[in-house]
């Protein structure tokens, strides 16, 4: 005799049937992808519908790693963490370096010319004459005479500033009758020489009075002449977008012909900075990043903030810590792997949503 089924039996069987036909999504569902077309994601092995290659299994550790980092704001757009085996790293030539603190010196290289500046020479002499004239008349009982002499000094001083002299240089002219004026015209061996160097707009913030500079040229035959920056023009040349730095070469033994072109290197100490190699940095103009690795095969694309470049090094203001290991070689291949992983994750998420919708 068959026993009657309780009233809830039918609903229970229906629920079991529904569960069997639509199993809940599992975190351990296997996914397969094409190594050449990572947008292809399937839940079983087979061939790529595009190229026919055998699909490869997406490793669980990689799925979990990318799941954990999906919302990480420190990762650049369209990138994901990746795992690379030692063999894979050797195959693509991955090399690493260390984030370290060190003293940086920025070498600014530009062109210059040996000064021949009759206009400045003339204005310097006018200023010195105006100073001497004012000294003679400053105690005059006639106010108009005193004021006229004072206006001449101010006018000459303004012209000197327009021509690029610093306040310190202008003040020194009243104490030195020559004021290095001869160095602006024809000079002899053993005399001071002026060099005018063109400083590009992006380098102007680093260049200031007192910095050392080295002068080289083909006609010097390998000889380097050292000098110091005395002043930097405050007004840019609108055609070249450069400012003129005035470099004094004191008592140069070599005969240097005015208007000769020279190469100028200005050394700018930047202090101790947190640095990485220039080749370790990716910069799209909107985001800047590098790849950080733990030495165990895990590679993380990390957004960073760059303060400035100094030769082959980059100063970092945020995003990295001293001692971290970063990728310095095969960066573009690692970056490509990271982008492919992002595409794979996009495909996997799309397939999962489609499956859940059905």
pLDDT digits (tens, 9 = 90+) for 84-102: 888 889 989 999 999 999 9
Q: How many CA atoms lie within 13 A of 190 on its CB side?
A: 0
Q: Find the Cα–Cα–Cα–Cα dihedral 144, 145, 151, 154, rounded to 10°.
A: -140
Q: What gap in Å lies between CA 205 and CA 259, rounded to an integer? A: 27
Number of residues that this document lists for the chain:
358
> Cα 213 from chain centroid?
23
Tokens read off for 99? 């984030």
**SS3 of residue 148 by DSSP:** helix
The CATH number corresponding to 73-104+271-347 among 3.20.20.70, 2.40.50.100, 3.40.50.2000, 2.40.420.20 equals 2.40.420.20
What residues of the chain score a pLDDT lower than 70?
1-28, 35-39, 58-72, 174-183, 185-189, 347-358
**SS3 of residue 19 by DSSP:** helix
- Euclidean distance between the first and final Cα of the chain, in Å? 42
**55 contacts 46 by C-beta, under 8 angstroms:** yes
Give the model's pLDDT for residue 66: 47
This prediction's pTM:
0.64
Give the model's pLDDT for residue 119: 85
Give the model's pLDDT for residue 26: 47
**SS3 of residue 351 by DSSP:** helix
Give the model's pLDDT for residue 286: 92
> Cα 259 from chain centroid?
34
Residue 274's nearest CA partner among 209, 319, 330 is 319
Give the model's pLDDT for residue 37: 66
Give the model's pLDDT for residue 9: 45
């Amino acid at each position: 005799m068959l026993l009657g089924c309780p009233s809830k039996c039918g609903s229970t069987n229906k629920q079991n049937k529904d569960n069997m036909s639509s199993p809940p999504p599992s975190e351990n569902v296997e996914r397969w992808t094409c190594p050449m077309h990572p947008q292809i994601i399937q839940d079983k092995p087979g061939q790529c519908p595009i190229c026919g290659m055998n699909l490869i299994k997406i490793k669980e550790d990689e799925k979990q790693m990318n799941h954990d980092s999906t919302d990480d704001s420190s990762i650049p757009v369209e990138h994901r963490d990746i795992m690379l085996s030692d063999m894979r790293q050797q195959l693509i030539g991955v090399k690493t370096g260390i984030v370290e603190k060190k003293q940086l010196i920025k070498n600014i290289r530009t062109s210059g010319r040996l000064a021949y500046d009759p206009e400045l020479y003339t204005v310097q002499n006018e200023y010195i004459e105006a100073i001497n004239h004012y000294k003679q008349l400053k105690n005059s009982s006639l106010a108009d005479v005193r004021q006229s002499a004072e206006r001449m000094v101010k006018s000459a001083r303004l012209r000197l500033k327009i021509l690029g002299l610093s306040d310190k240089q202008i003040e020194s002219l009243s104490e030195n009758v020559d004021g290095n004026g001869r160095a602006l015209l024809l000079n002899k061996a053993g005399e001071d020489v002026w060099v005018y160097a063109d400083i590009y707009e992006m380098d102007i913030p680093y260049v200031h009075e007192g910095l050392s500079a080295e002068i080289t040229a083909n006609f010097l035959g390998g000889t380097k002449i050292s000098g110091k920056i005395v002043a930097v023009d405050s007004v840019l040349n609108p055609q070249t977008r450069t400012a003129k730095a005035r470099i004094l070469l004191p008592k140069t033994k070599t005969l240097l012909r005015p208007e000769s072109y020279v190469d100028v290197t200005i050394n700018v100490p930047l202090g101790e900075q947190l640095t990485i190699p220039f080749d370790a940095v990716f910069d799209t103009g909107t985001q800047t990043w590098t790849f950080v690795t733990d030495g165990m095969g895990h590679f993380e694309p990390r957004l960073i903030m760059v303060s400035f470049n100094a030769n082959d090094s980059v100063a970092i203001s945020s995003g990295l810590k001293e001692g971290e290991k970063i990728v310095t070689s095969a960066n573009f291949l690692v970056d490509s792997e990271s982008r492919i992983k992002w595409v794979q994750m996009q495909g996997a998420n799309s397939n999962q949503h489609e499956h859940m919708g059905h």
